[in-house]
Structure 1
Amino acid sequence: MAILVTGGLGYIGSHTVVELLNNNFEVVIVDDLSNSEKFILKNIEEITGRKPVFYPFDLKRRELLTQVFDAHPVDGCINFAASKAVGESQLKPVDYYENNLFSLINILQEFKERGLSNFIFSSSCTVYGQADNMPIDENTPLKMPESVYGKTKQMGEEILADFAKAYQRKISLLRYFNPIGAHPSSKIGELPIGIPNNLVPYVMQTAAGIREKLNVWGNDYPTADGTAIRDYIYVVDLAKAHVAALQKLMQSTSDETLIDIYNLGTGKGSSVLEVIKAFETANNVEVPYQICDRREGDITIAYANVDKAERELGWKSETSLEESLRTVWEWQRYLESRNV
């Protein structure tokens, strides 16, 4: 059975493609390479011994997407395709709404017309905003996200809820916390274009001397060390959750719940300074940093309650923070060997 993976050469997408191939799914990737690199396709094949089908085009081109569905008997879709830089989304809101929502709607049009189901949406814990209580479970009230990026995720969820209800289709909304790390082979990992937007890639590049210092945005939060706390989940563990969610969708009957919602994290929060220390310990390197003023819109603390995913999917995160960060450094060394 063929699974369409949009954005399948990106960070989380590529790791999920590996896990799908390892579980004997046929994979069809659509990725416009706007936030990924072509060599990742070759590396996926080297890791798995299998080559996914690949189409390099923008999902807003509905006519090309239709050709993909005509050519392949698609049994489900995992949709990663989206612009994802929070800061950039504030500067280019119309571009983000167009790219992240129009591409989703085009896929759903094909699903509607062809009677397809089994759709997994790459969502985000940003839909919760600063939650009033920790840990955050799936019943935590949603708040209007601070960023346009976060708003596109919340709107995407609403579109999918309406789609599932109107057409009786099965959907999974996976709300990620903070993915980190790289594949144990060191052949795929997070590849930020330009200045990294996320903490761990910036830590990696600072340790490598690409960046002079890491900016720690605020040390006056009401936390143990004054820095913000997030839930950092190893990307391979996260990818395995997508396979488990897909298998549950495909095995469920029509009278079961149409929409599954799962938080994907570790269930534990780590502060910015704890992440820096863990990276230094795991890799025996130094990460120069400086304390800066808080950034507007940053929340204080967010970590997941993952009981539902463990109970219904039989899944939980298994990889420690230090081990995850060790794979980050191995990935950086691989990139240096390729002059990337």
Structure 2
Amino acid sequence: MKVLVTGGLGFIGSHTVVELQKEGYEVLIVDNLENSSRDVLDGITRITGVKPEFYELDLKYKTAIEVLCAEHPDLAGVIHFAANKAVGESVQHPLKYYKNNINSLVYLLEELIKLKNKNFIFSSSCTVYGEADELPITENAAVKPAESPYGNTKQIGEEIISDVCNINNDFKAVALRYFNPIGAHPSAEIGELPLGVPQNLVPFITQTAMGLREKLSVFGGDYPTPDGTCIRDYIHVVDLAKAHVVALERLLNNQQESNLEVFNLGTGKGSSVLEVIDSFERVSGEKLRYEITDRRTGDVVSAYAETSRAKNVLGWETQLSLDDAMASAWKWEQKIRN
């Protein structure tokens, strides 16, 4: 069966392509290479022995999607990763995020509802919960006003998909609300490689350790947490990728309880920024240069998942630890710099 993966050369997308190919799916990748590299194709191929079909397309342009879907009317499912994803950048450039993340989703859905097989997985985010009232965060937690334009695009995206599902009985979707994906494939053939200055914590840590960055800025040391730094639920990207395969199989086997299902994907454990730094120093043997700076606009204090729904309904749970993730991220960083 053929599966379209948008943003398939990105961090989470590429790891998901690997897991899909391992399970025998034929994968079609679409990516505009704005924050990824064509070289990732080679890494995927070395891991799986199969080179996926690739189209360099920008989904902000409706015609590109129309042509793509016309050429591939036999899609069994779509996993939609393609989006800008940095909280800080979205605060500075909100229109970029609304134009890319919302328009591409709408144009893609318009074409997909014309096709026979309508199985759709949406790359959502725990940012939809904002500053949650209770921890850990369940799927029933209130979706609060977003703390950033990025978070708002994920909220709006889920609302759009829900509206489509309400009027199309044969359109089935799963929204996967990620917490904080980190790490790299154990082969070190693919991993997180942001273009320019990293917007996420772990690649900034590994780049600092390699000497590419002078020091890491820890945004805020006065939060109401045990060590004063923000707490997040850091999930190994390989675990996260495997959840997409499980969700797709749920759709293909018509196991859903409703047209749109929502699942949190996390470890169920929160780790502070300083705890992540400690983990890195422990597994790498490197001492990291960092400083505590001012808080960053758009950051919530603490967010970690309640994961029993994913475990009980999807039959999925994480297998890899924070140390596993940090070790794999460091192995990846060392490989690409040497």
TM range (shorter): over 0.9
CA contact (8 A) 2:209 2:286 kept: yes
Report the Cα distance in structure 2 between the residues aligned to 1:241 and 1:100, rounded to whole angstroms.
22
Q: Is residue 270 of structure 1 aligned with residue 267 of structure 2? A: no
Asked if residue 45 in structure 1 is aligned to residue 45 in structure 2, the reply is yes
Corresponding residue of 2:29: 29
Work out whether 1:221 is the aligned partner of 2:218.
Answer: no
Partner of 1:247: 249
Q: Which residue identity is paired with 1:307?
A: S
Amino acid at match of 1:216: V
Which residue of structure 2 lines up, in the alignment, with residue 189 of structure 1? 191
Change (3 A) 1:290 1:61: same
Correspondence 1:64 to 2:64: yes
SS at 1:114 equivalent: coil
Residue of structure 2 in register with 1:54 after alignment = 54
Verify: 1:116 aligned to 2:114, yes or no: no
Give the ranges of 4+ consecutive aligned residues of structure 1 lying more than 6 Å apart after TM superposition.
none
Code of the residue aligned with 1:235 in structure 2: it is: V
What's the TM-score, normalizing by structure 1? 0.96
Match of 1:152 in 2: 153
Q: Distance in 2 between matches of 1:323 and 1:34?
A: 29
Report the TM-score, using the length of structure 2 for normalisation. 0.97
What residue ranges of structure 2 are gaps of 5+ in the alignment? none
Distance 1:116 1:252 in 2: 12
Code of the residue aligned with 1:102 in structure 2: it is: N
Deviation of 1:61 after TM superposition, in Å, equals 2.6
Matched, 1:77 2:40: no
Partner of 2:233: 231
**Whole-Å Cα distance in 2 between the matches of residues 270 and 88 of structure 1?**
23
Residue type of the alignment partner of 1:24: G
Distance across 1 between alignment mates of 2:247 and 2:137: 20
Instruction: Report the Cα offset of residue 231 of structure 1.
Output: 0.3
Match of 2:167 in 1: 166
Which stretch has the larger CA shift, 210-219 or 268-277? 210-219
Residue in structure 2 matched with residue 102 of structure 1 by the alignment: 103
2:150 corresponds to which letter in structure 1? Answer: Y
What CA deviation, in whole Å up to 9, does each residue of 1:59-84 have, x standing for no partner? 12322322222222111100000011
1:2 is displaced (CA, Å) by 0.5
Question: How much is the aligned-residue C-alpha RMSD, in angstroms?
Answer: 1.2
Deviation at 1:311, TM superposition (A): 0.6
Cα contact 2:29–2:55 (8 A) shared by 1: yes
Q: Distance in 2 between matches of 1:47 and 1:134?
A: 38
After superposition, the Cα gap between the structure-2 partners of 1:61 and 1:218, relative to the gap in structure 1 and judged at 3 Å, is closer
CA contact 2:91–2:298 (8 Å) conserved in 1: no
Of residues 181, 201, 210 in structure 1, which corresponds to 2:203?
201
Counterparts of 2:324 and 2:103, CA distance in 1: 38
The total of aligned residue pairs comes to 336
Q: Tell me the distance in 2 between the aligned counterparts of 1:280 and 1:208.
A: 13
Q: Percent identity?
A: 54
Question: Matched residues in 1 for 2:69 and 2:325: separation?
Answer: 36
AA aligned to 1:127 is V
Which whole-Å deviations, capped at 9, do the CAs of 1:176-228 have from their partners, x for residues lacking one?
A: 00000000110111111111111111111111111111111222222111111
Per the TM alignment, residue 124 of structure 1 is displaced from its structure 2 partner at its CA by 0.4
Distance 1:127 1:28 in 2: 29
User: Separation in 2 of the partners of 1:331 and 1:14?
Assistant: 14
Partner SS state of residue 121, structure 1:
strand
Counterpart of 2:247, as a letter, is A
Deviates most, 10-19 or 106-115: 106-115
SS in 2 for 1:149: helix
Q: Deviations over 1:294-320 (max 9, x none)?
A: 223321111000100011111101101
Q: C-alpha separation between the residues in 1 aligned to 2:48 and 2:320?
A: 21
> Do the aligned partners of 2:16 and 2:242 also contact (CA within 8 Å) in 1?
yes
